[in-house]
Chains A and B, each alone.
Chain A
Amino acid sequence: MRYVDEYRDAALARALLDDIRRAVTRPWTIMEVCGGQTHTILRYGLDELLPDTIELVHGPGCPVCVTPIALIDQAIAVAALPAVTLCSFGDMLRVPGSGGDLFTARARGGDVRVVYSPLDAVALARRLPERQVVFFGVGFETTAPTTAMAVRHAADLGLTNFSLLAAHVRVPPALEAILGAPDNRVQGVLAAGHVCAVMGLDEYRPLVERFRVPIVVTGFEPLDLLQGVALCVRQLEAGRVALENQYARSVRPDGNRAARALLAEVFAPVARRWRGLAELPESALELRPAFARFDATRRFALEAAPAAEPPDCRAGEVLRGVLKPPQCPAFGTRCTPERPLGAPMVSSEGACAAYHRAGRRREEVHHRGAEAPRRMEEGFSVAETPRFCASVVKSGSAGG
């Protein structure tokens, strides 16, 4: 398939891996920001093909994962109201709130529908004038413009039965929080190419300068990621710090001007609490006063009830790149895709889901890298212990 196969070529991948191996002299920790990138890494096993001294950690770029539980609870509450149809992307429907998720809300009688575009929700509102159609909009700067388009379209049509529950967030404030944290380990960043295709490069220059960290705007195919790593490693080894654009085939320095203008017209940045990252200034998008009549929290007088994260879910550390999914004591035991404690285990872009899906289990990460912590935590299955020990012995004899 054109425009895809070129970026999955195995011979080119080997050449890039050779380049990286030649360039690396020291250990480096690089964060890929976007969950889509994480899934490509696990899907192609790129982390295992890279030299052991390069550690990839996974960033906050899973919009579903960083959506606070309180917002999901609001969506579930709206879905339970009579004569309300709640629409969202399929991925959002499976994320656990305080009590169940939107699929469960549907099973209990709520009218919850999967849409593929926010404009489909507007079309639904036109078709169902007797119902209130609420679109639960989630996503980074990639999907926010389409939501902005839907709101403006609803305004143009004069619809009074369409509203938006907005969970759109911005990447730069999250990166700022991660890079500025006292426990930050990230030495280089692969920024999310799709986000920059909309927003351009300018927002990232101050981060490079302030935190003295190379940022490489990177695509989503395996060769994109390997090239992004190669560019990042070259900077790190040379002691350079710069903003580079690996994904130039899609990302222009000034981004997509029409989409940015639409975003600015409909939304304003506001502070928002992120799952795992606390409240971040200017990190979320709220409807501007001219469009406030489409705000579902106002229309339905939704309270932002405090909601506690499950205590043994360490999604916050995973989303900041401090903890890798298999290092979480609950990974694969108390937390699985069927019984998730947190969103990263269910979302298609979630790092925990990516590791689980690729069959990575706790021991596999533990015996890679220098630290190799082989602690056993409370809750680790006793039945798994012999297998775990055998695996450690095997890897020890193989790898020295």
Chain B
Amino acid sequence: MAECPLPDDGADTVLLGHGSGGRMSARLIGEVFLPALGNPILDRLGDSAVFDAGGLRLAFTTDAFVVHPLRFPGGDLGSLAVHGTINDLAVAGARPLVLSAAFILEEGYPLAELRGLVASMRAAARDAEVHVVAADTKVVERGKGDGVYVTTSGIGIVPRGVELGPECIRPGDAVLVSGPLGDHGIAVLSAREGIAFDTDVVSDSAALHHLVGALLTSGAAVRCLRDPTRGGVATVANELARAAGVAMRLDETAVPVRPGVRAACEMLGLDPLYVACEGRLLAVVAGADAERALAALRAHPLGAGAARIGDVDAADDGPPVRLRTPFGSLRALDVLPGAQLPRIC
């Protein structure tokens, strides 16, 4: 496996690795955006901004979708743009209310294709029981876009009593995932020009708010939720461990990965722990409630493959996230500098 880092800290241009979700992305945010736009809400860098307004606790988020190809096994840009923003609200514990969508269209893009993507968006919103209530459209010259880019934003309401966040994580907690990892990333790769390979893997793209609702009402003490998109579970675990000031120990043999995803990762030299999911939940719950939380997840169709993959320990002078290998040795599970790249040989 490989990464795609920024080789020169002093680079004066944006590189693809800045969009990987890894350390380069973090540096871009920390050095360019937060100094200019930072405030107590944004500085938390949560999946959603959570704040009080008019007696309600609101969650607000926005996400841009530039997936390539626009269609992939198990989904397309339209459904992904709906699911992604709903999930950012859901992992804040919010019930999604409404979405907005902004389309950047490239001159020459077939209208029939666009209709297909928008229909997929409508179906995803209908299934998730949310409405797209505001929208915008811009067209750019041919060659200045990649067909279609979509940005969706969403507002949700956080029920009283729901307190989620890395600051709630304690040593002794358990780390759960709601299903097998890496399906989305591998499904998209399998459809990408130049790599295309035959696989039965389909994207896990799905709206997670009902699954989150089931978990939050199960009675289990839920500390923190994330959806492991860019950078995968390894990156999210690192972000949480650092933010919470704890250490996490994941067990490689407990991590659920489908055979098709494993095979593709072996072939391409990728590590499924860093591959994106778009319909999986990473949940940190009180250790004593792990079984109850797992039962609640497994009772929902989107959580049927839920598993406990690790534990939270007190921070020590070692790396924040460690992986126990099948041979019993421990190694650091670090954040990648940039995106994973397939290996040479």
On A, residues with C-beta under 8 Å from B are: 1, 4, 8, 10, 13, 36, 42-46, 48-49, 63-64, 89-96, 100-101, 103-104, 106-108, 114-116, 120, 138-140, 142-143, 194, 222, 336-340, 346-349, 356-360, 387, 390-391
With A116-B194, A194-B345 as given contacts, are A94 and B326 in contact (CB-CB < 8 Å)? no
Closest 3 interchain pairs by CB?
A: A359-B332, A45-B329, A348-B2
A359 near B326: Cβ-Cβ < 8 Å: no
Alpha-carbon separation in the docked complex, A104 to B12 (Å): 9
Which residue on B lies nearest to A386, using beta carbons?
Answer: B317
- Contact code string B315-326 (vs A, CB < 8 Å = 1, else 0): 001110010011
- Could you show 17 A-B contacts with beta carbons less than 8 Å apart? A8-B326, A10-B328, A13-B327, A42-B331, A44-B325, A89-B342, A94-B5, A103-B7, A104-B7, A107-B15, A116-B342, A222-B327, A337-B3, A338-B24, A348-B269, A348-B344, A349-B344
A48 near B344: Cβ-Cβ < 8 Å: no
With most chain A CB atoms within 10 A of its CB, the pick from B2, B11, B333, B344 is B344
Alpha-carbon separation in the docked complex, A10 to B252 (Å): 12
- Contact code string B264-293 (vs A, CB < 8 Å = 1, else 0): 001001000000000000000000000000
Contacts of B262 in A (CB 8 A): 1, 4
With A339-B8, A340-B7 as given contacts, are A91 and B266 in contact (CB-CB < 8 Å)? no
Task: Knowing that A13-B327, A104-B8, A194-B345 touch, tell me 18 more A-B residue pairs with CB under 8 angstroms.
Answer: A4-B262, A42-B331, A63-B345, A91-B344, A92-B344, A100-B7, A101-B8, A107-B11, A337-B5, A337-B337, A338-B9, A338-B23, A338-B24, A349-B343, A349-B344, A357-B332, A360-B332, A390-B317
Alpha-carbon separation in the docked complex, A307 to B6 (Å): 21
Contacts of B133 in A (CB 8 A): none
With A348-B1, A348-B269 as given contacts, are A91 and B341 in contact (CB-CB < 8 Å)? yes
A338 near B5: Cβ-Cβ < 8 Å: yes
Which residue on A lies nearest to B268, using beta carbons?
Answer: A116
Q: State the Cβ distance, A358 to closest chain B Cβ, in Å.
A: 5
A36 near B15: Cβ-Cβ < 8 Å: no
Alpha-carbon separation in the docked complex, A357 to B332 (Å): 7
Contacts of A103 in B (CB 8 A): 4, 6-7, 15-17
Alpha-carbon separation in the docked complex, A108 to B11 (Å): 11
B345 near A143: Cβ-Cβ < 8 Å: yes
Contacts of A143 in B (CB 8 A): 344-345
B195 within 8 A of A: yes
With most chain A CB atoms within 10 A of its CB, the pick from B4, B328, B330, B343 is B343
B9 near A36: Cβ-Cβ < 8 Å: no
Contacts of B13 in A (CB 8 A): 104, 107-108
Which residue on A lies nearest to B253, using beta carbons?
Answer: A10
B56 within 8 A of A: no
Which residue on A lies nearest to B343, using beta carbons?
Answer: A348
Q: State the Cβ distance, B5 to closest chain A Cβ, in Å.
A: 5
B322 near A338: Cβ-Cβ < 8 Å: no
Contacts of B342 in A (CB 8 A): 89-90, 116
Contacts of A360 in B (CB 8 A): 332
Q: How large is the interface on B (under 10, 10 to 19, 20 to 34, 35 or more residues)?
A: 35 or more
Contacts of B239 in A (CB 8 A): none
- Contact code string B4-39 (vs A, CB < 8 Å = 1, else 0): 111111010111110000011001000000000000
Which residue on B lies nearest to A89, using beta carbons?
Answer: B344
A45 near B330: Cβ-Cβ < 8 Å: yes
Alpha-carbon separation in the docked complex, A1 to B13 (Å): 42
Count A-B contacts at CB 8 Å.
Answer: 143
Q: State the Cβ distance, A337 to closest chain B Cβ, in Å.
A: 4
With A10-B328, A104-B13, A222-B327 as given contacts, are A140 and B345 in contact (CB-CB < 8 Å)? yes
B263 within 8 A of A: yes
Q: State the Cβ distance, B189 to closest chain A Cβ, in Å.
A: 10
Q: State the Cβ distance, A106 to closest chain B Cβ, in Å.
A: 8
B345 near A142: Cβ-Cβ < 8 Å: yes
B331 near A359: Cβ-Cβ < 8 Å: yes
B259 within 8 A of A: yes
Q: State the Cβ distance, B297 to closest chain A Cβ, in Å.
A: 25
Contacts of B7 in A (CB 8 A): 94-96, 100-101, 103-104, 338-340, 346
With A42-B331, A348-B269 as given contacts, are A120 and B194 in contact (CB-CB < 8 Å)? yes
With most chain A CB atoms within 10 A of its CB, the pick from B195, B262, B325, B327 is B327
Which residue on A lies nearest to B322, using beta carbons?
Answer: A359
Alpha-carbon separation in the docked complex, A187 to B278 (Å): 50
Q: State the Cβ distance, A80 to closest chain B Cβ, in Å.
A: 14
B195 near A116: Cβ-Cβ < 8 Å: yes
With A43-B331, A347-B2 as given contacts, are A359 and B318 in contact (CB-CB < 8 Å)? yes
Which residue on B lies nearest to A113, using beta carbons?
Answer: B194
Contacts of B5 in A (CB 8 A): 94, 337-338, 340, 346
Alpha-carbon separation in the docked complex, A289 to B228 (Å): 53
B341 near A348: Cβ-Cβ < 8 Å: yes
Which residue on B lies nearest to A357, using beta carbons?
Answer: B334
Alpha-carbon separation in the docked complex, A348 to B2 (Å): 4
A4 near B266: Cβ-Cβ < 8 Å: yes
Alpha-carbon separation in the docked complex, A114 to B340 (Å): 13
With A103-B16, A348-B343 as given contacts, are A387 and B317 in contact (CB-CB < 8 Å)? yes
With most chain B CB atoms within 10 A of its CB, the pick from A1, A89, A91 is A91
Contacts of B17 in A (CB 8 A): 103
Alpha-carbon separation in the docked complex, A93 to B328 (Å): 35
Q: State the Cβ distance, B28 to closest chain A Cβ, in Å.
A: 12
Contacts of B4 in A (CB 8 A): 90, 93-94, 103
Contacts of A46 in B (CB 8 A): 327, 329
Q: State the Cβ distance, B191 to closest chain A Cβ, in Å.
A: 14
Contacts of A339 in B (CB 8 A): 7-9
Alpha-carbon separation in the docked complex, A255 to B83 (Å): 51
Q: State the Cβ distance, B71 to closest chain A Cβ, in Å.
A: 21
Alpha-carbon separation in the docked complex, A359 to B336 (Å): 12
Q: State the Cβ distance, A228 to closest chain B Cβ, in Å.
A: 16
Checking A64, A101, A222 against B344 with a beta-carbon cut-off of 8 angstroms, the contacting residue is A64
Q: State the Cβ distance, A110 to closest chain B Cβ, in Å.
A: 12
Which B180-211 residues have C-beta < 8 A from chain A?
A: 194-195
Checking B8, B23, B319, B341 against A90 with a beta-carbon cut-off of 8 angstroms, the contacting residue is B341
Which residue on A lies nearest to B318, using beta carbons?
Answer: A359
Alpha-carbon separation in the docked complex, A340 to B337 (Å): 11
Q: State the Cβ distance, A76 to closest chain B Cβ, in Å.
A: 12
Checking A91, A338, A391 against B337 with a beta-carbon cut-off of 8 angstroms, the contacting residue is A338
Alpha-carbon separation in the docked complex, A349 to B343 (Å): 8
B327 near A100: Cβ-Cβ < 8 Å: no
Which residue on B lies nearest to A394, using beta carbons?
Answer: B317
